[in-house]
Chains A and B, each alone.
Chain A
Amino acid sequence: MCLTNHFWDYFVPGIANGFLYALIALGYTLVYGVLQLINFAHSEVFMSGGFGGLFVINWAIADRHPHGLSSVWFVLIGIIAGAVTGGVVAFVLERVAYRPLRRRHAPKLAFLISAIGMSYFLYNLAGKEFGRDARTMKPPFTVTPSKPLFTIFGASVNLYDAVIALSAIIMLVLLDRLVQNTRLGQGIRAVAQDADTAALMGVNIDRVISQTFVIGGLLGGAAGFLFGLGTAGVSYTMGFTPGLKAFTAAVLGGIGNIRGAMLGGLLLGVVENLASSCFGASWVDVVAFYILVLVLLVRPMGLLGERLGRSA
């Protein structure tokens, strides 16, 4: 039954996961692009977005049962709440765990450790403040399994998958435009290509780096909300596994490369689900990492290569 039968039944949820991975992966890739550093605490930015979205949407929905147009508004409110929380946390993260170290020209691994420290700090703080059990969001729309939104090759696509895909596509397109066409995007690309030269040309590096963290945080936070909207809900440890997966996706696509992160995310999401159908859920990570190694052996810089500056 592996791959042939029910292929699309596995493919569709895989794509939905893939979009979430892509949104998170962009946070890793953007930061890597400008700093050449792995932001290990990005998974906690994602987690905080989940909590931000959760509290706002549960408060906004209260006792209502939204449907139709009001559902759209609530989803939008949730995304914005998640994104803003993620952006704020990412901003603070850069100020506390990155900027002071950059000032001191710390070795690269010191950044890694301070980011790991921030990650421990943030998720355990969330556990302390908000309890250590998963919480569920009040649904802004109703998913009826018997009545899917539409079908692709016989595989039903439910409303939740569609919401994720649609919101993710909109955000990804917006980001692509932002990096390509705005002054801010120019700054990011300039720093990514050569920070020293960019500084000489009058680019305020500190500000660009801060902005890059915030953009990554906005996307990661929004992903946190969309993730929490699903069956899993929101919990203080929710960041760890998706963070790891998204990081893998970013490397798969070529870290530092925006379109690479999108491609890597989608690919990883689909591969995981197909691997689950073929080998069982406990072998998914093994398959995913074998594929990663194979890809890197053939293309050492990932599928689309590095360079935020050039290929975006």
Chain B
Amino acid sequence: MNQRRFVAAVIPLAVAGLVLSACSSNKNSGGQGGSSGGKPVFKIGYEGPLSGGNAQLGLNMKYAVQLAINEANAKGDLPFTLQYTEADDQGSGDKSPAAAQQLIDDKQVIAVVGPAFSGATKAAEPKFADANLATVSPSATSPLLATQGWKTFFRVVADDNAQGPADADYAVKKLGITNIFAIDDASAYGQPLEKAFEDEAKKNGAQVTHQSVPGTTQCQAGSGNTQQYPAVAQTIKASGAQLVFYAGYYCDFALLAKALHQAGYTGKLFSDDGSLDPKYIEQAGADVAEGTYISCACADLSNDPKAQKFAADFKKLAGFPISVYSAEAYDATNTIIAVLKELGASATRAKVVEKLRTVDYQGITKEVKFQPNGNISGNAVYIYQVQGGKIVSLGLAGS
């Protein structure tokens, strides 16, 4: 009977705990709840993974959205009050329509940052298009998304068809590599990116060996085993490749880099915007990461004072440093805010969609201007390299 008592005791306690935590979380959920002083309230929604295996990626963006909203409100020159609201899609297509619906149902939501993942975007965007609610994705890179004719779809990130070929051109033409081992993380992000890279590299005359290496649970919602990398490293070493291209995220890439180092591989390493994160160096070790090339369709943040301030403020708000796609989410939110400022207090969902087509906003990662299909225009890809334990910009890939 001891157990029954335990249960009987726990349930009221759990309820008490929930009430307590609900009270405290109400206090610190971003934006200025409450008094709007007669001004209309507009909400900017964020849809991304906030629970489940991809939660960390979602949090990287969530705090950037909150920060942009807080800053805009703090300036005090807005004819309206901005609020933050969020919907969790766990990064998956099956939860995404409900998350989208949650934002659509809230009539105060005027525009959405997200959805974060390509699969989630594919499932949710018909809903957003139906409701005429603009979405600006900071991270969905699948080329397919721009071909579906959704008029509400925008993204501030270059798609894989821009980044993959630029990477391949840089590797083959600039670095003069002829034998490449290309790896994807078997995710919806890595697979198409690797494909775009491989096609272009082969067109340039390089020999490309491809292998799919599933991402691990400690990096994303993958099925891979963290112990799989030594065997992969052996295969790469035996192939005699001069360069390894990795389409995936930094946390898996770090594991591969370490395994390659231990196997005695001495060639070059090359990865993409999912790896543009100082944590790559931290997890792989500075000596292993040294010399790694990383490409990104985003400008160098380290010399821009605005970007530096963003990084510092982000850390204060989130409790952890900026990471993959934080800056893109910040730009996406600020683009929406810029549009709202122009529209003033009379903004509607439909007007935001129209205005986004012609917006021209200078963000910290790039100049935000959209093509008619929602893609960002001017797909400038920058190359970075790890030098002396730091990520240093080498300039535009094409230059």
Contact = CB atoms under 8 A, between A and B. Distances in A.
Contacts of A1: 238
Nearest to A241: B225
A282 B214 contact: yes
A231 B234 contact: no
Interface in B369-398: none
Interface stretch (A172-180, A206-214, A270-278): A270-278
Contacts of A20: 227
Contacts of B40: none
A272 B226 CA distance: 12
A145 B262 contact: yes
B217 A281 contact: no
B227 A230 contact: yes
Contacts of A143: 262
Given A10-B234, A281-B211, A282-B186, A17 B251 contact: no
Contacts of A103: 3
A245 to B, nearest CB: 7
B234 A277 contact: yes
Contacts of A245: 225
Given A103-B3, A285-B223, A6 B251 contact: no
Interface in B204-231: 211-214, 216-219, 223-231
Nearest to A274: B231
Contact of B238 (A5, A136, A231, A235): A5
A9 B56 contact: no
A273 B231 contact: yes
B232 interface: yes
Contacts of B232: 276, 281
Interface string A130-144: 011110100000010
Given A143-B262, A232-B255, A132 B234 contact: no
Contact of B283 (A5, A17, A131, A134): A134
Contact of A6 (B2, B227, B234): B234
A281 B231 contact: yes
A5 B216 CA distance: 28
B123 interface: no
B231 A231 contact: no
A312 B2 CA distance: 36
15 contacts: A5-B238, A13-B230, A100-B3, A103-B3, A134-B251, A230-B226, A238-B218, A241-B224, A242-B225, A272-B225, A277-B231, A280-B211, A281-B214, A282-B186, A285-B223
Given A273-B230, A282-B211, 9 more contacts: A14-B231, A103-B3, A104-B3, A134-B218, A235-B218, A272-B231, A280-B235, A281-B211, A282-B186
